[in-house]
Structure formats: C-alpha cells, structure tokens
Amino acid sequence: MHLGMPISSRFNQDQKNSYQPQLVNIMGIKVIRSELVKPSEATPHGPFWLSNLDLSVRSSYSPTIYLFRPRGDDRQGFFSVDVLRTALAMALVMFYPLAGRLAVAPDGRVEIDCNGEGAVFVVAESDVALDDLEEGFTPSKAMCDMFVPPYEKEAGAGAPLLLIQVTFLRGGGVVLGTGMHHYVLDGRSSFHFVQVWSSMTRGAAETIVPPFLDRTALRARSPPVILFDHDHEYHQKVGCATNNRSSDLTGAILRVTKAQAAALRARTGESLFRSLVAHIWRCTLMARGLAPDAKSRLYTVVDMRARLSPPLPSAFFGNAGVRTSVTAKVGDLLTNDLKFGAQRLRMATGQGDEFARSLVDYLETADERAKPGRELPDTDLRVISWMGMASHDADFGWGEPALLAPAAMSYTWFIYNIGNTGDVAVAVGMKPGHLERFKELFFDENEMA
C-alpha cells in the first residue's frame, strides 16, 4: 500500500519508546498503579505484517467502557488486580501482537514490531459513584480521559497497542476501560480478546478459541484488479465543507426495547440492523432539517470474514471490515415508508468476495488520503454495528458488565445488543440542538411503531 507521505510526516520518531508509566491525577481519578504487562511466556519476535484493510483505518485507539457491579454484599476479591494482571499476561501469549509496538518497515510500510514490551496496565480509584455513572453515562472525551489510559490520539511509531485501566468506584463497582489500536484489530477481534482474557481470569480455559493470526489471505493481487468504485468511502475529500466537527458533538446512549425492535422489523421485512439504521437515517435527516432535494449518503462497515471465498475463520485477528455506502434523496427517504431506506441499505451491505478483493487492490495503489474522514457534511452519516459480536461476553468471574459503551463519540452511530435481553443500544454523537430533536423523533410512537 502506497502511503503517499514521508515517514517523518506520518510518525513523530521522537515518540518511539517514549511511554513511561506515571502516577497522575486526572479529573477525580487517582492512579495507584501503572505498569507494562508482558506475555507470561516467550512469544514470536520480529515484524508482523498489516494488511491494506488494517492500514486503511484511522491510526488511533478505539476506547471502550465496561461497567461492573458487585454481586450483593459479597465483594471479597472483587476484580482482584493480581488475578486480572496474571490472566492478561497469559492472554497476551495468544494475542502476542498486542504486546508489541507500531513500527515502520524499511520500505516505509507500517507494521507491528512484536517485541513483547507489553500492554499498558493502569489501576486507579475514582470518587465517582457507580449508580451515578450507570444512570448518567454519556460517551465523551471527559469519560475517555477518566477511564482509558491516555496516549497520543494519533499514535505513531513506538506506540503501545493495548491500553487498559481498571478503576475502582466510590461505594463499589469497577470500570474497565480499554483502548486498542485500530491498526491491529477491529471490533470483533477486540471483543474476542476481552472474551479470552475474561475466560482466563475466571479459570474457564476450556471455553477459549485461539485467535487466527494469519493475514495473508488479505494480500493484494498482482496486478491489481479493481472492479468497483471505492472513492466515496476511501478517498478523503480535501476541503469538504462540514458542520460536524467531533469537538462539537454531544453523545447519548438510547435503548431500543425488544418490542420496539420487532415493530421496526415488521415495518420493513428486513433484518433488525437494516430496519434500525433506516429509522436512524430518517430521524437524523428530519432532526437536521435538510432540504428534500438534497442527496444523503449513508456509510457503514461490512464484516467480510464469512463473505470471502474461502471464508476467514470467525476468530480471525485483524481488520476484516470494508466500508460501503448508499445514497438517496432526503425527500424520498422521508416520504416513503421505512422499508425504502432499509432496502436502499441492502445495496450497501450485500457485498461479497469480489468487492473485498477489489477494495484490497484499490488500497494497494491508493495514497494517504484513503482514510475515513473524521467529519461528514450534515447530509451524511456513518453507522457502525457491533450486533452479533461477543460484546457482553466479558465475565471476569464477577458477572457480565452492567453497561458497555464506546467511551467517546465522534460522528458515528454505534449499534449493539444489550446482553441477551433482546434490547439494542444506539450510541449516537450529534450537535446538541440536533440531538434533542433526534431523540424526540427516534422514540416518537408514529416513527417507532
């Protein structure tokens, strides 16, 4: 993949190996322990190749929050730091690339240096009460800064790839904050790692499925064969006008009940994901008050593990998602039944092996602008799905999380299941005025029923 920029402009070489665990206080957080956790056994060393799909995502961490509530009055040993740390070192043997560092190959391509330096592991205390956090949690930069170890947003060469913070709350309860570098893995892989780590913590090794680390199936062809137009999703438009700067957005988590989800599906005859996204699409456009003749583009990501030929194992470790999009006129989306938007979305989510191979080849010749833009015009939106992933399979021996959410939001809607309840969470980031109107429309009986 041609990165199109000199290495010095992509990475600050002075940052290399600069991370030193420090004891700091941040916004009501008292850090009491900070260290690097290395794999418990010897692991392979040397360069680890990153595919074009890996390098097409943003060079940043994906922050996630898990909130755990003690079971009754029995809090002895609740989230034992020593037990967590020991299990983490064991899990890093299987997932050894996460214990490495970002690096640059002689040809200028970004890769992982599997040097076993370890994951950042922080233990902290907070004066925040569990009940207040659970009831009022809102994805934001403040939440991320409190509960996920800090590191440069645009992490460069020498950067750690896994950041973990265990925060004990006032009156009981724990927040587990994770930051995993997006170059290394996608959402499905990150939840798989937490699943394995939690299984090792509670001594359930028999349930563990090891990660599949071989990424060679995602190498580009020679010569490249590009059969589809990927520019809209992967060619960043320089100077694109936008009113959606991430710093201006307010986050919220909305809960869709099982009954509401069933009602949406009944209206469209499509999958829950397509039905829910069509509803989000309509409500977003109405909340923003867009003109009927404006064209709206909806972006999403499709997991290609099962769609490649031959398919990748479900435990594939890396980025296997491809960005797709679909357009429609605002007036058509608002005047037609919800089924119209859901069927339009089907065009973006039905891609298979040929599309993925074409994209990998496209990225082989793309320059540095083949990255997702952080900001979108008001006509457009991007929705990411964690549905069907093992997001809540994170029982460290003290029960499943009471709350799971992205720690911060930037322009994206996240959709994910709430445990095994049948309810679905929608995490959303919008401008404050638009968000309040969006919530009114989202739960309007005529829209939801």
Reported as a single tens digit per residue, the pLDDT across 74-95 is 566 799 999 999 999 999 999 9
- Is the residue at 90 inside a domain? yes
Helix or strand (DSSP H, E) at 381: strand 381-385
- Is the residue at 360 inside a domain? no
- Is the residue at 365 inside a domain? no
Q: What is the mean pLDDT of the chain?
A: 88
- Is the residue at 195 inside a domain? yes
- The pLDDT of 2-7, averaged and rounded, is 29
- Shared domain for 320 and 270, answered yes or no, is yes
Question: Taking a C-beta distance cutoff of 8 angstroms, is the pair 186, 318 a contact?
Answer: yes
Q: Is the pLDDT of residue 290 over 80?
A: yes
Strand, helix or coil at 310? Answer: coil
pLDDT band at 236 (very low <50, low <70, confident <90, very high): low
Question: What pLDDT is attached to residue 115?
Answer: 97
- Is the residue at 16 inside a domain? yes
Q: Which residues are catalytic?
A: 182, 395
Look at 26-30, 211-215, 343-347, 351-355 and tell me which has the smallest mean pLDDT.
Answer: 26-30
pTM of the model: 0.90
Question: What is d(CA 121, CA 102) in angstroms, rounded to the nearest whole number?
Answer: 18
- Shared domain for 69 and 145, answered yes or no, is yes
pLDDT in tens, 410-422: 768 999 999 888 8
- Shared domain for 269 and 172, answered yes or no, is no
- Shared domain for 179 and 269, answered yes or no, is no
- Shared domain for 295 and 409, answered yes or no, is yes
Q: Is the pLDDT of residue 334 over 50?
A: yes
Q: Is the pLDDT of residue 24 over 50?
A: no
Q: Is the pLDDT of residue 4 over 50?
A: no
Q: Is the pLDDT of residue 32 over 70?
A: yes
pLDDT band at 205 (very low <50, low <70, confident <90, very high): confident
Count of the separate structural domains present in the chain: 2
Q: Is the pLDDT of residue 271 over 80?
A: yes
- Shared domain for 170 and 307, answered yes or no, is no
pLDDT band at 71 (very low <50, low <70, confident <90, very high): confident
Pick from 170, 197, 217: which residue ends a domain? Answer: 217
Q: Is the pLDDT of residue 6 over 50?
A: no
Q: Which CATH number do you get for residue 341?
A: 3.30.559.10
Q: Which of 179, 178, 161 is nearest to 50 (CA)?
A: 161
Q: Is the pLDDT of residue 20 over 50?
A: no
Strand, helix or coil at 379? Answer: coil
Q: Which strands form 101-104's sheet, in the order they lie side by side?
A: 46-48, 110-114, 101-104
- Shared domain for 332 and 290, answered yes or no, is yes
pLDDT in tens, 131-160: 888 888 889 988 999 999 987 655 678 899
- Shared domain for 152 and 281, answered yes or no, is no
- Shared domain for 70 and 135, answered yes or no, is yes
Q: Which of 259, 223, 229 is nearest to 422 (CA)?
A: 259
Q: Which residues form the domain of 255?
A: 247-350+372-448
Q: Percent of the chain beyond pLDDT 70?
A: 86
Q: Phi and psi of 159, rounded to 5°?
A: -75, 140
- Is the residue at 230 inside a domain? no
Question: What is d(CA 53, CA 352) in angstroms, rounded to the nearest whole number?
Answer: 15
Q: Is the pLDDT of residue 447 over 80?
A: no
Question: What is d(CA 87, CA 76) in angstroms, rounded to the nearest whole number?
Answer: 19
Q: Is the pLDDT of residue 346 over 60?
A: yes
Q: Phi and psi of 196, rounded to 5°?
A: -65, -45
- Shared domain for 108 and 67, answered yes or no, is yes
Question: What pLDDT is attached to residue 152?
Answer: 65
- Shared domain for 314 and 190, answered yes or no, is no
**Residue 179, C-beta contacts closer than 8 angstroms, at least 6 positions apart:** 61, 62, 63, 64, 148, 149, 151, 162, 163, 164
- Shared domain for 56 and 199, answered yes or no, is yes
Q: Is the pLDDT of residue 241 over 70?
A: no
- Is the residue at 49 inside a domain? yes
Question: What pLDDT is attached to residue 27?
Answer: 57
Question: Taking a C-beta distance cutoff of 8 angstroms, is the pair 121, 164 a contact?
Answer: yes
- Is the residue at 46 inside a domain? yes
